[in-house]
Amino acid sequence: MSDLATAAPQRRGAAWELWRALSGRGTRLLAGLHQTWRRSLQVRVVTITLLASSLLVGGFAYLIADKITNILLENAEADVKTRLDSGAAYAGKQFGLYNQPQEAQFQETVDGTVNYLAGGDPQQTSGVVVALTADNFSGVIQPRTSPAVGNLNSVVSPELRATVAGGSVASQIRTGRLGEERTKYLVYGSPVPTRFGQVELYYLVPLTRQDSAATEARATVVATGAALVLLLGLLAALVTRLVVTPVRVAARTAQRLSAGLLDQRMVVNGEDDLALLAASFNQMATNLQRQILRLEEMSRLQRRFTSDVSHELRTPLTTVRMAADLIFAERDGFDPAVARSAELLQAELDRFEELLTDLLEISRFDAGFAALDAEPTDLVPVVHRVADRLTCLAERVGVTIELDVPAAPVIAEIDPRRVERVLRNLVGNAVEHGEGNPVRITLGVDDTAVAVTVRDHGVGLKPGEEKLVFNRFWRADPSRARQTGGTGLGLSTSLEDARLHGGWLEAWGAPGQGAQFRLTLPARAGDRLTTSPLRLVPADATLPFGGPRDGGLLAIGPGTAGALAVGPAPAGERAESRP
């Protein structure tokens, strides 16, 4: 008993494992078929052609087979009805000689008439059965059939006999056993009037030959239809191959062009529409190549111009700076208006020098010369240092800088100079747009990444502006007066610094709710980011009725120009949008 109790669960477990394996294989098969259906235009066209042609050919085959069957049946009915009419007339003449069914030799006349109508041979092999009955004289006239059969009632139904006995010609198709095998019969019955009353004459014609002919016709039609469907499928496959092959070649060529292989072209064969497509594609590729090379040359000249101008302006700027420093140091002895001019000159020179520094850094990024000097660094003092340097600026515009940093060190392999510059740009941008509200800096860390968020409660970003916030020289409100003297390159430079670290720089904003920027960097240089320890959408952001969370989300990763997504991001979320 214990062995049986142990074996039953084992069998159930084996059956369950078999079921899981089969269902898993079926699921993979369906997934593969679905993928093939989505990716292959040729498969879709051929499949649709086969289905449509199968339905059409199947409908025609059914109509043709039904028409052939009806024609065969109509011919059989016409033949039987003709024989029945002549047989009833002949039987009426033979029985018209008798006034009563009890007369001598009447039964012999009945037998002779039935045999004559059956062809004169009681053993004829045509299969047609002639029967004569007299329901009104069942005790006097015995039913006769030629050839002799066992049970006539197995084919002639009582309803048909009652109709014929009532004086009407009637017919039916019925399957019964008159001999060794069950056979389908076409039964026709007709009354035969005599002097003493009425007898009934029946013709039972087997439909074996007609059924065989109809079956052969259906088989022929089905075979022809199947061959036609296969031919249509093959034709559709060939036609779609002729069309799809150049399209696939064009797609592969376009992929190579997008990968930078600008010399790729399609082969032009013939003069048809596909050849025209290939020629047009090649012309387009040539024009694109010419335009791209022209733009690359213009970009190269622009980068060189920016770099050369930035370097050349260093020398006169140094001279002007020395003179301005001298004037600024002696401003207390000047007239108040002149002293104010000296202060303005010093401030604008600071802005000019900062602009030159940013332009030089941008030119290094554009030329691909920027290098990362990563080393293990504690981010806590970096955040404190940035906050301390911007405290005076924040106090001047009435903004309070709040810090939320861990007490323990936060170590990551970063370039401290570049990260400090990114944070300085983010905090300075938040102070400028904070509208006098507090700016909060939060530092977070997990096993793979570190993150810093800078949150302000200013005007925020309008829908669509999150796509432009990292563009060079772009401002959210060009009509607003600058208070911090920004160059318009800070966020663009910050983006490049984040990319150089293999990190993300992301922005969220909503009108009236302020904005939040998040910098996420890998804890170890060279690692790939998958999550961020801090959420991008602030917890205090409101969700409007019937729509997504206000504002947009711009997630920017290494090698991307930014991708827009909308919606909240839970703590520790993956970057909300990845191209």
Q: Are 536 and 571 in contact (CB under 8 A)?
A: no
Higher pLDDT pick, 361 / 89 = 89
- pLDDT-derived band at 567 (thresholds 50, 70, 90) equals very low
Measured from the Cβ of residue 467, the count of other Cβ atoms closer than 10 Å reads: 17
- Same domain flag for 301 and 434: no
pLDDT for res 306: 67
3-state SS record for 473-518? CCCCCCCCCCCCCCCCCHHHHHHHHHHHCCCEEEEEEECCCEEEEE
In whole angstroms, what is the distance from residue 3 CA to residue 7 CA? 6
Provide the pLDDT for residue 11.
65
Residues 390 and 297 in one domain: no
Evaluate whether 562 touches 470 at the Cβ level (below 8 Å).
Answer: yes
How do residues 5-54 score in pLDDT, each as one tens digit? 555 566 666 777 777 777 777 787 777 777 877 777 778 888 888 888 88
The contacts of residue 354 (CB under 8 Å, 6+ apart) are 485, 487
Q: What is the pLDDT of residue 477?
A: 56
Is pLDDT of 196 > 70? yes
Q: Looking at residue 134, what is its pLDDT?
A: 83
CATH code of the domain containing 332? 1.10.287.130
Is residue 384's pLDDT more than 90?
A: yes
Following CA atoms 535, 540, 542, 543 in sequence, which dihedral angle do they give, to the nearest 10 degrees? 40
Please indicate, yes or no, whether residues 483 and 508 belong to a single structural domain of this protein: yes
Same domain, 437 and 400: yes
Q: Pick the closest to residue 385 from 421, 361, 439 (CA basis).
A: 421
* Alpha helices (H) along 96-185: 106-117, 158-165
**Residue 161 phi, psi dihedral angles, 5° rounding:** -65, -40
41-45: list long-range contacts, CB under 8 Å, 24+ apart.
41/240, 41/244, 41/247, 42/237, 42/240, 42/241, 42/244, 45/236, 45/240
| 418 pLDDT higher than 90 | no
Give the lowest-confidence range in 293-307, 324-338, 375-389: 293-307
Inter-residue contact 485 to 426 (CB < 8 Å): no
514 and 484 both lie in a single domain = yes
CA atoms of 86 and 119, how far apart (whole Å) = 13
Predicted confidence band of residue 126 (pLDDT cuts 50, 70, 90): low
The lowest-confidence range among 3-7, 205-209, 283-287, 491-495 is 3-7
* Mean pLDDT of all residues in 548-575: 36
- pLDDT for 565: 32
Q: Is the pLDDT of residue 524 over 60?
A: yes
pLDDT at 501 over 90: no
Say whether both 412 and 527 belong to one domain.
yes
Tell whether the model's pLDDT for residue 141 goes beyond 60.
Answer: yes
Q: What is the CATH number of the domain that holds 164?
A: 3.30.450
* Total tally of structural domains belonging to the chain: 4
Question: Would 50 be classed as within a structural domain?
Answer: no
Q: Are residues 462 and 550 in the same domain?
A: yes
The pLDDT value given to residue 568: 33
pLDDT at 551 over 50: no
pLDDT 10s digits, 421-461: 889 889 988 898 888 899 999 999 998 999 999 999 988 88
Quote the pLDDT of residue 119: 76
pLDDT digits (tens, 9 = 90+) for 147-188: 877 677 788 888 888 888 888 899 888 888 877 778 888 899
413 and 559 in a single domain? The answer is yes
Indicate whether 541 pLDDT > 80: no
Q: Any idea what the CATH number is for the domain that residue 524 is in?
A: 3.30.565.10
Return the closest-CA partner of residue 320 out of 294, 352, 360: 352
Q: What is the pLDDT of residue 488?
A: 66
Do 390 and 519 fall within a single domain?
yes
* Range scoring the smallest mean pLDDT among 225-234, 478-487, 555-564: 555-564
Residue 418 lies in a domain: yes
Residue 190: its H or E element: strand 182-193
pLDDT range class, residue 563, cuts 50, 70, 90: very low
| Helix/strand/coil for 159 | helix
Structural domain span for residue 540: 375-565
- Rounded to the nearest 10 degrees, the angle between the axes of helix 273-329 and helix 208-258 is 30
Q: Which residues pair with 182 in a beta bridge?
A: 177
* More confident position, 533 or 6: 533
Closest C-alpha among 326, 328, 323 to residue 347: 328
Residue 114: per-residue pLDDT = 85
The verdict on residue 227 lying in a domain is no
Query: Would you say residue 572 has pLDDT above 50?
Result: no
Q: Which residue has the higher pLDDT, 370 or 394?
A: 394
| CB atoms closer than 10 angstroms to residue 574 | 13
Asked if 365 and 408 sit in the same domain, the reply is no
DSSP string, 238-290: HHHHHHHHHHHHHHHHHHHHHTT-TT--PPP-SSSHHHHHHHHHHHHHHHHHH
Percent of the chain with pLDDT over 90: 11
Please give the DSSP secondary-structure letter assigned to residue 152: G
- Do 406 and 357 have their domain in common? no
pLDDT beyond 80 at 404: yes
Residue 222 lies in a domain: no
DSSP character for 535?
-
The one-letter amino acid at 498: A
Q: In degrees, to the nearest 5, what angle opens at C-alpha 352 toward C-alphas 346 and 357?
A: 125
pLDDT value of residue 453: 94
Given a cut of 80, whether residue 367 has pLDDT beyond it is no
Q: How far apart are CA 541 and CA 534, in angstroms?
A: 15
CA dist 165 to 18, 106, 162, 199, Å?
68, 20, 5, 8
Per-residue confidence (pLDDT) for residue 278, from 0 to 100: 83
Residues 340-359 pLDDT 10s: 888 888 878 877 777 777 67
Residue 499: count other Cβ atoms within 10 Å of its Cβ: 18
Averaged pLDDT score across all residues of the chain: 79
Is position 228 within any domain? no
Question: Is position 249 within any domain?
Answer: no
Q: Which residues pair with 388 in a beta bridge?
A: none
pLDDT of residue 520: 93
Question: Last residue of some domain: 213, 248, 278?
Answer: 213
CA atoms within 13 A on the CB side of 545: 0
Question: Is residue 236 in some structural domain?
Answer: no
* φ/ψ of residue 242, rounded to 5: -60, -35
Confidence check: pLDDT of 372 > 60: yes
The answer to whether residues 359 and 487 belong to one domain is: no
Mean pLDDT of 385-413: 90
Asked whether the predicted pLDDT for residue 362 surpasses 80, the reply is no
Residue, of 248 and 507, whose pLDDT is higher: 507
Neighbours of 363 (CB within 10 A): 21
Quick one: CA torsion of 350, 352, 356, 362, rounded to 10 degrees?
100
Is the pLDDT at 260 greater than 50? The verdict is yes
Of 325, 347, 370, which marks where a domain is finished? 370
pLDDT at position 365: 67
| Boundary residue ending a domain (213, 229, 247) | 213
- Whole-number pLDDT of residue 120: 57
Task: Please report whether residue 446 resides in a domain.
Answer: yes
Cα 59 from Cα 63, distance rounded (Å) = 6
More confident residue, 578 or 369: 369
Report the C-alpha gap between 129 and 267 in whole angstroms. Answer: 78
